[in-house]
Amino acid sequence: MKCPFDIKNKKQVIKFEEKDPYNPDNTLKGYINRRQGSLYGVLWITHVNNKLCKQLIYSAPKQHYPFDKDDNWEFPECDFVELYEKLDGTCIISYVYKDSKGNVFLTYKTRLRPFLGSSKFGNFFELWNEMLKKYPDITNYTFDEYHNCVFEMYGKRNKILIDYDVSLGTKLIFTVNASNGQIYPPTESVKHNINTIPVLESKGMLTTWHKYNVDGQKDLYLGIQEELELSMKIDEEAKIMKGMEGHVWYFMENGYAKQIKLKPPCVLKYHWSGDAIAYESIYTTVINAFENFDKPKYLDVVELLQEEFDDSKIEKSRVRIEKILGKVLFDKKYQFKLAEDYNKMKFDINKDKTTCMQWFGKNYPKSEAKRIYNLLKQYEDKE
């Protein structure tokens, strides 16, 4: 078997050697593809426990818009289109691998990591374990399923942009054929499965899609985009947005899918307003970067931004990106320090704000009171 991406290009790959937290007797070596496209996030495992054991693990490719920066529109050919909600959270991907003796193991990853991890900046491993405990059938389903299963983990404790009512939840959002990378929508994936797992439900089908020309298809897309816009609830002052982040459209042909994403204008505004990239868009991208890197660097954030923006706009935003990244890193380090004292003193800021903040006011600079409160409140809500 030959690796389908260039592992010698150090800028386009991440080399790893890590212990599998779900199978702690196993240490894997290999590479992760960072280049945009259908192989984004794909693992090339070279060794399992220092034994040569080459295998390719498909990831979850990024979804694209049907238009480019010059407003040229193009949709995939298909038999019909199926619509699903686009959840706003962290992408968790299940996969199985083998050791040199043929033993099979199940584990989970984010897009640009070989496994789920934990650090002082975030703990996707523990959060996902809560979901596995809540939905134990996920383990059986993902182990037996021939496909790699892609879940979205979302909610108040893993907030990106959308404010959900649920504390923490997950849904199966699609599956990827483990042998060729073909994509299947969630309802198709679980059609004949008896396990009880949380699955994203279809929002409907466009069965006559292929009868329209590009202008007609564009009008349908824009019409549904406007419907989502009208259903959004936004509190600009409190920076709270409730509703659907958007849709993912599955263009079905010969049993498998190509994905196109759709977001309402109020969500796109956070990404695309002005000559430079909007603060909120950079901030959410930096937060997303912590899914894949323990301590993301400027170029790691840039790579994620390149999924949405051209290089000229990113370059115009260089100073803003560096400032926001520095602020988030500093806040997370500071929050980690605060949390150590917070837990040691056994405070609960939601039940007794006064006692908690009086103690921090005596032991930390008073000028930092508002910032300390916000970071502790965020920490408590996430916990």
State the number of CA atoms in the 13 A half-sphere of 148 facing the CB. 30
DSSP code string of 246-285:
-EEEEEEETTEEEEEEE--HHHHHHHH-SSSPPHHHHHHH
Output the pLDDT for position 272.
67
What share of the chain in percent tops pLDDT 90? 57
Output the pLDDT for position 260.
97
What value does the mean pLDDT take over residues 339-360? 90
Nearest residue to 125 via CA among 114, 136, 140: 114
Domain boundaries, the chain: 62-267, 273-329, 345-382
Nearest residue to 69 via CA among 318, 249, 311, 320: 311
State the number of CA atoms in the 13 A half-sphere of 182 facing the CB. 13
pTM for the model: 0.80
Output the pLDDT for position 238.
64
Band of residue 274 on the pLDDT scale cut at 50, 70, 90: low
d(CA 379, CA 48): 37
Output the pLDDT for position 275.
67
Band of residue 308 on the pLDDT scale cut at 50, 70, 90: confident
Q: Which residues contact 272 (CB under 8 A, 6 or more apart)?
A: 278, 281, 308, 309
Ranges 12-26, 163-177, 357-371: which has the least confidence: 357-371
Looking at residue 114, its amino acid is: P
Band of residue 120 on the pLDDT scale cut at 50, 70, 90: low
Compute the mean pLDDT over every residue in the chain, rounded to the nearest whole number: 90
CATH architecture of 62-267: 2-Layer Sandwich (3.30)
- 87-113, pLDDT tens digit by residue? 999 999 999 999 999 999 999 999 999
- 55-79, pLDDT tens digit by residue? 999 999 989 999 987 889 999 999 9
Q: CA of 200: how far to CAs of 126, 186, 324, in Å? A: 22, 6, 33
Band of residue 273 on the pLDDT scale cut at 50, 70, 90: low
**Selection from 38-52, 290-304, 351-365 with the highest mean pLDDT:** 38-52
DSSP code string of 132-148:
HHH-THHHHHHHH-SEE
Output the pLDDT for position 145.
77
